[in-house]
Structure 1
Amino acid sequence: MAGDGVKWDGLLKWSLSHSDGTRPPRNIREEDRRWFMEAMQAHAVDVVKRMREITMVMRTPEEVLEAQGVTPSDIEGMLDELHEHVEAIDMANDLHSVGGLVPLLGYLRNSNASIRGKAAEVVSTVVQNNPRSQQLVMEASGFEPLLLNFTSDPDITVRTKALGAISCLIRNYKAGTTAFRLANPYSGLRDALSSNNTRFQRKALNLIQYLVQENSSDCSVIAELGFPRLMIHLASSDDLEVREAALGGLLELARDGTAGNNIISTEKDQLSQLLQNRIDDIRSMSPDDLRAAREERQLVDSLWSICYNEPSVLRKEGLVVLSGEESFEMPPDVAGRFFEPPLRAWAAKAPPSNEGQVWPTEQRKRHHCV
């Protein structure tokens, strides 16, 4: 039966007919049960076996693969498949066990930009919310090629994906965060903020916000390097997520006593103009746009309150919390755990190890690093 192929449409209809709730349950004939089991077993995938096969390919020299007709597109497809497998956290850790982590990191240095980018995406998923894999990647010297790709790769997409992988690698992992700071990454982050790529900007802004939240000493460094001016500029971006990330970063800096006072004094005119422009734009938004800009409204009001020690016009006009919005705190994530791989969801709830700390689901979504 496996050789004939499975009629997936028929299999789906058969499944629905026995579980759609429109008819009372009935006993399944042995013939139907056997057909269903054979269909599923014929297409079951041994994930560990597939990861070993993919590892074998990744270990094979590039010239040998080329001689056998393997194209860069084939490699990209293979990495896409590997990406799906490592969504489950036990499979992500098994990648090292089957010998696949080191050759995957080797693809970060591949001559093909698309392959470098795909490899960074896989690394992001391997280390996300996974202290064990964060440690393994650092021990396998995976940080260095990621940093090199982030700071100097000629392809902006590769730089963006490398930054996403770095963000996942160091987040709530002390050794990774320390290595990142020692690498003096600020010129690369400044380049990202100055780029025209909104995704690159967002990832840099989110990482900056994480750094200043995690260590207040970064506030002064970032302020001294002129980041606030760039962030003020990006807070007027046409991209809502960029605006929110920039405003969030400015708010974190403003909350810091020394750095905040310096920003408010040195960038007073630009900051004042920014906030007034954002308030004017928000006041002119349609109801749908107002709902979409919920976080932006709260950030503008909070930043205004810190800078001028008074409520903003938005609060006075009831635009910080609209009618029907119970509060301006982020609502609890009651559904997210049902829409992510169950083992990774379990890992997000597990007690942190000595080095790593798992983020709550809501924070993980906001600071997603892929």
Structure 2
Amino acid sequence: MAGDAPNWEGLLKWSLAHSDGTRPNRNLSDDDRKWFMEAMQAQSIDVVKRMKEITLVMQTPEQVLEAQGVTPADIEDLLDELQEHVESIDMANDLHSIGGLVPLLGYLKNSHANIRAKAAEVVTTIVQNNPKSQQLVMEANGLEYLFSLFTSDPDVTVRTKALGAISSLIRDNKPGITAFRLANGYAGLRDALGTESVRFQRKALNLISFLLRENSSDCNIISDLGFPRIMVHLASSEDLEVREAALRGLLELAREKTGDAKVTLAAEDEKLKQLLEERIKGISLMSPEDLGAAREERQLVDSLWNACYNEPSSLREKGLLVLPGEDAPPDVASKHFEPALRAFAPNPADKKPSTEKKEAPPLLLGAGPPPEAANGQGSSSAREDANGRLQ
């Protein structure tokens, strides 16, 4: 109920009255301290209570929800709200302790594709840069559920969301990486690259680059599976992000100097050289605006040419590697390559903060209206960018 919500207006007035910048801070009275702590703690208490209510709904059998008029769209709204709450790392870790993690993973098997996709999104938020929640999801067989969606779900959106969740789950998680490899994950990634979904291709390529950086010996595995030929093809995609991600993967292979990866990439040399020449020609014809957007692609093309043929590309001669106003070659995703390239600073202007906020939906079950959901402190929404936040 509204009367149970924290008195934020009163808290603001109190804060301004006690910290106007014109006088030194004074000691708080016991009553002031008690009131302040209660106001601050009310936020977390309300969020936990709301998460428990959502957990109760997730634990309710589907047929019971249907009998009460609860629709799949209502469930999606609840999952949207839950995702906002678990953006706080503390709340993400608390979801298991209040009994919400297992029923959330159960929604990965829901008969409605939109619910499966949304559940995978919530899992992504929970495990991003969060080792504790990664472990909890692994122990609850979450990777197995996600892998099944990734490789066999009939809905490509669900498969894409599941792959995004897998990418966040196994990042900096050695047991997760091992489990993914043992489950023949690379074969699933190869199938993803063969789809027509640009988003699916992006996520698969980004995860491939991450896995190769973690274990360069995997270059031989992906070479045996025919990845070089596929990546050469995707490097001429009309989608800029797909082109860049494919070029990153090829660069990883080019820098692996031994083993089957080098042999396989050499077998693609004619097609690869033709591809790079075409990309150089395409870059040469770009407008100044498009050249600015293709900063990373320009660097990748030059780096790949240099790695394969031991000489700079013609982009340098044409003055297209470093444009006027660019002090140095752009950082080619500093996490991806050698220390020498990591010295270049990334461009922070490429990121735009999101300010969009959604209202909490009403409680679906229960005798009366729910307390208003309050926002949790701290956000994990900025915890990742992986190759990009792997899209």
Q: Could you tell me the TM-score, scaled by structure 1's length?
A: 0.82
- Identity value in percent: 64
Q: 2:183 — aligned with what?
A: 183
Q: 1:54 — aligned with what?
A: 54
| In 2: Cα distance, 1:215 partner to 1:255 partner | 13
| In 2: Cα distance, 1:309 partner to 1:342 partner | 51
| In 1: Cα distance, 2:320 partner to 2:346 partner | 22
Preserved CA contact (<8 Å) 2:89 2:379: yes
| In 2: Cα distance, 1:345 partner to 1:58 partner | 23
Give the aligned residue type for 1:368.
R
Query: Structure 2 vs 1, CA of residues 347 and 279 (structure 1 numbering), >3 Å: closer, same or farther?
Result: closer
Q: 2:316 — aligned with what?
A: 315
Preserved CA contact (<8 Å) 2:47 2:85: yes
Give the aligned residue type for 1:324.
G
More helix by share: 1
Preserved CA contact (<8 Å) 2:253 2:262: no
Query: Structure 2 vs 1, CA of residues 323 and 123 (structure 1 numbering), >3 Å: closer, same or farther?
Result: same
Query: Structure 2 vs 1, CA of residues 326 and 189 (structure 1 numbering), >3 Å: closer, same or farther?
Result: same
Give CA deviations for 1:233-256 in whole Å, capped at 9, x if unaligned.
110111100000000011011100
Give the aligned residue type for 2:57.
V
Query: Structure 2 vs 1, CA of residues 264 and 184 (structure 1 numbering), >3 Å: closer, same or farther?
Result: closer
Aligned length: 328
| Unaligned segments of structure 2, at least 5 residues | 4-8, 17-21, 23-35, 332-343, 356-375
Report the aligned-residue RMSD.
3.1
Give the aligned residue type for 1:294.
R
Preserved CA contact (<8 Å) 1:165 1:369: no
Give the aligned residue type for 1:127.
V
| In 1: Cα distance, 2:187 partner to 2:299 partner | 30
Q: 1:303 — aligned with what?
A: 304
Preserved CA contact (<8 Å) 1:219 1:253: yes
Q: 1:265 — aligned with what?
A: 266
SS at match of 1:366: coil
Q: 1:283 — aligned with what?
A: 284
**What stretches of structure 1 move > 4 A for 4+ residues in a row?**
332-342, 344-348
Give CA deviations for 1:274-307 in whole Å, capped at 9, x if unaligned.
1000000001101110000000000000000011
Q: Could you tell me the TM-score, scaled by structure 2's length?
A: 0.77
| In 2: Cα distance, 1:346 partner to 1:180 partner | 25
Preserved CA contact (<8 Å) 1:87 1:344: yes
Q: 2:345 — aligned with what?
A: 331
Give the aligned residue type for 2:387.
R
Q: 1:368 — aligned with what?
A: 389
| In 2: Cα distance, 1:282 partner to 1:347 partner | 32
Please show how residues 8-27 of structure 1 align to structure 2 within 5 Å.
none
SS at match of 2:237: coil
Higher relative contact order (CA 8 A, sep 6+): 2
Please show how residues 119-198 of structure 1 align to structure 2 within 5 Å.
119-198=119-198
| In 2: Cα distance, 1:280 partner to 1:302 partner | 16
